[in-house]
A and B are shown apart, each in its own frame.
Chain A
Amino acid sequence: MSATSTTILNLPDQSTATLPKKNYINNEHGLLSWLLTGDHKRIAILYLISITFFFFIGGAFAGLIRLELLTPQPDLVASDTYNKFFTMHGIIMIFLFLVPSVPATLGNFLIPIMLGAKDLAFPKINLLSWYLYMAGGTFTLAALVLGGVDTGWTFTTPLSTHYLNTHVITAATAIFIAGFSSIFTGLNFIVTIHRMRAPGMTWFRMPLFVWSNYAASILMVLGTPVLAIAIVLVALERTFGIGVFDPTKGGDPLLFQHLFWFYSHPAVYIMILPGMGVISEVISTFSRKRVFGYTAVAFSSVAIALFGFFVWEHHMFIMGVSNYSALVFSLLTMLVAVPSAIKIFNWAFTLQQGSITFETPMLYAFGFMGLFTIGGLTGVFLGSLGMDIHLTETYFIVAHFHFVMVGGMLMAFLAGIHFWWPKMTGRMYPESLSKLAAVITFIGFNLTFLPQFILGYLGMPRRYHAYPPEYQVLNVLSTAGATVLGVGYLLPMLYLAWSLKYGAIAGNNPWQATGLEWQIQSPPLTENFIEIPIVDHEAYDYEWLEHKTKHEVTTVG
C-alpha cells in the first residue's frame, strides 16, 4: 500500500501501486454476495447502478419530449403518447432519481464512515430499502410496458381517478413502494447519526454532508407517509369511487392538491439538501478551508427542512384558495428562501483566503452555485403572489425547477460522484476529459433551460404537445441545448466505466481532504475501520491533517 500522497494531484505511480489486497469489493465473490449483502458500501453501489439506469431512461424520455417540441405541430407522436412521455420522464426523474440520488448512493456509502461507524444502524433494513426501490422501479417499468400512464407526475384528481384509462394504479403502486424505500433510508440515517457516532464525534464535529442528509431524512420520514396516503386515496377512489376528491359526491378536488403538495414541496428539499451537503465538502476541500460559518450552514439545513413543511400552498395560489391564506404562504415562502441565500454566500466566502484548485468536482460545484442561484432567485418570482399568477403552469416553472433540480441537484450529484469516485473504486478518472464534460454540461444546461424562462413569460404553457408557431425559435434553441447536455451526461458514464479498469490508482487521500473517509484505504475494508477512530478535531481541520500526514505513516490492512 502506498503512503498517503502529500500534494493534491501527485498520484502514486501506477506501475508500482495496486489496489489494497483486501477491500469491500473483493471481500466476497458472486452475484449473491452482492444481492444479500448488509454492507452499506455495497448497497450504495447497487443503488448507484440502478439509479444510473433509471436516470438514462428518464433522460431518453426528455430527449423524446424535446424532439417533439422542435416543431410547433404535433408531428412526432400522438398526444396521448406525448403525455405518457412527460409523465414517465417526471415520475422516473423525481421518484427514482432525484429523491434517492445522493442519500441512497453517496449517503449510504459515506455516512457511517464519516461518523466513524462500521455500518448503518440497520443493515438489513438498508438492503430492504434497495429492494423496495427496485420493486418501485419495476412497477414503473411495468406501467410503461403495459401501455403507459398519462397523469403527469402530479397525479391530479379527478383526472387521474375518473378520466384516464391508463395504468394509473400500477404507477401509483410504484410510487407508494418507492416511498417506503425512502422512509426506511431516512429512519436508518437518523438512528445512525444519533447512535453510532465514534467517540469524540460530537454533533458540531460532523461534516456538513451528514448534517444535510440528517435534515433530508427528517423530511423523508415525516413527509413521505402523507404522499402514501394521497396515493392510496387515489387508488381507492379510482377502484371504488369513494368520493373523497369527487365534488359530485361531496368530495373536495382541492384536498388532493393539499395532500400531494404537503409531501411534494418538502420533497424538493429532500432532493436538494443532500446536494448542498456535497457542495460544502467539495468547496472546503479544494479551497483547503473550513466552511465559512459552519454552524450557520448546519442550522440552515435543519431550518430549511422544518420551514419547508409550511409553504405547500404556494403551488396553489391560483386555485381559488382564500386570498389571506395565500398571503401567509407567500410570506413563509419568502422566509424559506433566506437560508438558501445564506448558504450561497457562506460557500462563496469559504473561498476567501483559501488556496484554491480547480479539479472536476470543484467545477461542478461552481456550476451548482451559479445555476442554483438562478434557480433560487426565480423561485422568488413564483413566491411573489401577483407574479405567480402569470408565471405558474408555464415553461417558467419548467425552467425554474430544472435550474434547481437539474442545475442544482444533478450538478451536486456529479460533483459528489467525481469527488468520492477514488474512494469508492480506488481509481482516478481521466482528468481532462472529466473537466471537459463539466464544461459541456454547464453550457448545454444553460442553452436548454434559459430560453424556457422567456417562453414562460411569453405564456407558453407546460405539458403542451403542440404550441403556437411564435414560440418555435426558443424551442429550437432549447432542443439544441438538450442535445449538448445529453453529451455532457453520457461522457462521465463512459469514462467512469473506463476508469474502473484503466484508471490510475488513487491512493487513500488524493484530494488531501480531512474527512474520516479519506483517512482509510480506498476502496475501504468491509468493516471500514480496523479500529474505531477517536475524533479529536473539527470537520475541515486542515492544520490537523497537515500535522497528521507529516508525522505518521498510514496503517491499513
Chain B
Amino acid sequence: MHISPVLWQFLVKWLNASALFPREASTIAPYADALYFFLLLMTVVGVILVGALLFGFSVMYRKEKHPVATQIEGSTLLEATWTIIPLGIFLVVFVWGALLYFRIYNPPTNAMNIYVVGKQWMWKAEHPGGQHEINALHVPIGKPVQLTMISQDVFHSFSIPDFRVKREVIPGRYTTVWFQATEPGTYHIFCTQYCGTNHSQMIGEVTALSPEDYQKWTQESTSGMSLAQNGERLFASMGCNSCHSGSAAARGPNLAGVYGSKLQLAGGSEVLVNDAYLRDAILNPSQHVTAGYAPIMPTYQGQISEEGLIDLVEYVKTLQTNYRVQQTLTTSQSDQAAPTTPGMVKP
C-alpha cells in the first residue's frame, strides 16, 4: 500500500474500533485488508461512475430537454477505452490477489505443525506434544503455526475471520493452512462449508497466547503421551512391527528415515513420502508397493481413526530422521522441501 504508515495505522485503528470491520489479529490480516480497501475503492469509483453517467445523461437528455434523439453508431475509441481500463484494473487485482494467495497458502519452513480433524460437528485439534482439544485451539503469538487438516466425514471448512484465513477440510486428503497470530486474545473458528444439521454449531475458539503462557498451557494440558508415542503404541498393537521390524529379513520395508525421501515403487515410479502418502499407504497398501517387496500388506481401511492415522504418521516421521520436513503438502514448494537423501531409497 502506498499509503503513509501513520495514516494506515490510524485508519486501521479507527476501523478496528468500528463494528464494520473484523479485528486484524494475524500477520496476514493487514495484507488482506490492503487489497480489500483497493477493491472497495474500485467498487465505489465504479458505482459512482456508472451512477453519474446514468444520472447525468438522464438530466441532460430527458425528453423535455432533448425531444429528438440523435442516432449514434458507437465509437471504437470509447469502446476500446472501457475495455482496456477495466481489463488493466482487473489484471492488477489478479496479480495482487495471487501474491496474497501464495502468501496465505505457502507456509514458512519454520512453522510448527498442529493437526486438526473435522467431524460432524466439532473440531478436534491434536498437538504434537499430545495435547488434545475440542472446538478450541491454543497457539502462541509471534510464531508461524501450520494446521494439517483432514475430515472424518463430510466437507468442512476451517475459517478464522480475524486471521483472514480459511481452508476447506476434506475427507480423504490433508489440506494445510498457516497463520501467525499477532495479538493475544480469543477469536472465532467457524465451519464455513455447510455440513449438515449442526453446521452452525461447529464453532470453536482460537486462543492466542504469549509464548510464556503458551509454554505453561502445553505443560498443563498434556495427556502425558505425545502423538508419536501414541503412534508407537498403535504400531505395535496393530501388528505393523511384525513386518516393518527394521531388520534385513523383514517382509516389509524399514520405515526409518523414509519420511521426506523419494521412494521407488514397484511400478518404477517414484513418490515423495509425506503425510498424505503415508496415510494412503496404510489405507490402500496395494496401490503403493515399494520396489523389492511383495504386495502382502493388508489394508487398514476402517480400522484406524483419523486421529490414529495422524499418530502413526507422526511416529513414522520421528523414526531416526535427522531433519524435520515441514508440511508443504499442497504447496508449490513441496518438491524442493524434501531433498532425496542418498541411501534412503530402498532397493
Contacts and interface: CB of A to CB of B under 8 A. Distances in A.
Nearest to B164: A390
B166 interface: yes
Contacts of A458: 20-22, 161
Nearest to B29: A390
Interface string B113-125: 0000000100000
Nearest to B160: A459
B120 A163 contact: yes
Contacts of A79: 197-201
Nearest to B121: A79
B67 interface: yes
B168 A354 contact: no
A378 B43 CA distance: 7
A273 B175 CA distance: 37
Contacts of B157: 318, 393
A75 interface: no
A80 B197 CA distance: 5
A425 interface: no
Contact of B171 (A247, A338, A470): A247
A63 interface: no
A12 to B, nearest CB: 21
Interface in A383-407: 383-390, 392-394
B39 to A, nearest CB: 5
Contacts of B70: 353
B307 to A, nearest CB: 16
Contacts of A378: 43
Contacts of A473: 19
B90 A338 contact: yes
A351 interface: yes
B154 A159 contact: yes
A156 B91 CA distance: 32
Task: Give the residue among B54, B97, B167 with the most A Cβ atoms within 10 A.
Answer: B97
Contact of A253 (B155, B200, B331): B155
A56 to B, nearest CB: 25
A540 to B, nearest CB: 9
Given A337-B86, A466-B201, A158 B104 contact: no
Given A338-B83, A354-B61, A247 B51 contact: no
Interface string A260-301: 000000000000000000000000000111101111100000
A319 to B, nearest CB: 4
B200 A465 contact: yes
A334 B90 contact: yes
B74 to A, nearest CB: 4
B259 interface: no
Contacts, number: 289
B91 A254 contact: no
Contacts of B256: none
A248 B83 contact: no
B178 interface: no
B50 interface: yes
Given A150-B197, A248-B172, A330-B94, A377 B42 contact: yes
Interface string A297-339: 0000000000000000000011110111011001100110110
A264 B96 CA distance: 27
Interface in A58-76: 74
Contacts of B180: none
B108 to A, nearest CB: 16
A468 B188 contact: yes
Interface string A75-86: 000011001000
B35 interface: yes
B97 A247 contact: no
A216 B89 CA distance: 27
Contacts of B78: 345, 349
A457 B21 contact: yes
Contacts of A369: 50, 54
Contact of A293 (B66, B74, B173): B74
* Chain B interface mostly: mixed
Given A320-B173, A353-B70, A354-B66, A459 B162 contact: yes
B178 to A, nearest CB: 12
B199 A83 contact: yes
A414 B82 CA distance: 28
Interface stretch (A30-38, A355-363, A548-556): A355-363
Interface string B84-109: 00110011011011111111111000
Interface string A462-476: 111111101001000
B100 to A, nearest CB: 2
B63 A355 contact: yes
Contact of A384 (B69, B97, B159): B97
Interface size grouping (class) on chain A: 35 or more
A341 interface: yes
B262 to A, nearest CB: 20
Contacts of B105: 323, 389
A159 B54 contact: no
Task: Give the residue among B42, B69, B188 with the most A Cβ atoms within 10 A.
Answer: B69
Given A320-B170, A380-B90, A470 B19 contact: yes
Interface string A447-485: 000000010011101111111101001000000000000
A543 B203 CA distance: 65
Nearest to B203: A468
A323 B332 contact: yes
A52 interface: no
Contacts of B183: none
A374 B40 CA distance: 10
Nearest to A78: B197
A10 interface: no
Contacts of A131: none
A351 B57 contact: yes
Contact of B102 (A150, A323, A349): A323
Contacts of B240: none
A54 interface: no
B61 A353 contact: yes
Nearest to B35: A387
B265 interface: no
25 contacts: A79-B197, A159-B194, A247-B171, A253-B155, A253-B170, A290-B71, A292-B74, A323-B332, A330-B97, A341-B82, A342-B86, A345-B79, A351-B53, A351-B54, A351-B58, A354-B69, A356-B63, A370-B51, A385-B101, A386-B99, A386-B104, A388-B97, A459-B159, A459-B161, A461-B191
Interface of A: 74, 79-80, 83, 150, 152, 154, 156, 158-159, 162-164, 247-248, 250, 253-254, 287-290, 292-296, 317-320, 322-324, 326-327, 330-331, 334-335, 337-338, 341-342, 344-346, 348-349, 351-358, 366, 369-370, 373-374, 377-378, 380-381, 383-390, 392-394, 454, 457-459, 461-468, 470, 473, 542-543
* Shortest 7 CB-CB contacts between residues of A and residues of B: A386-B100, A459-B161, A247-B172, A384-B97, A385-B101, A293-B74, A393-B192
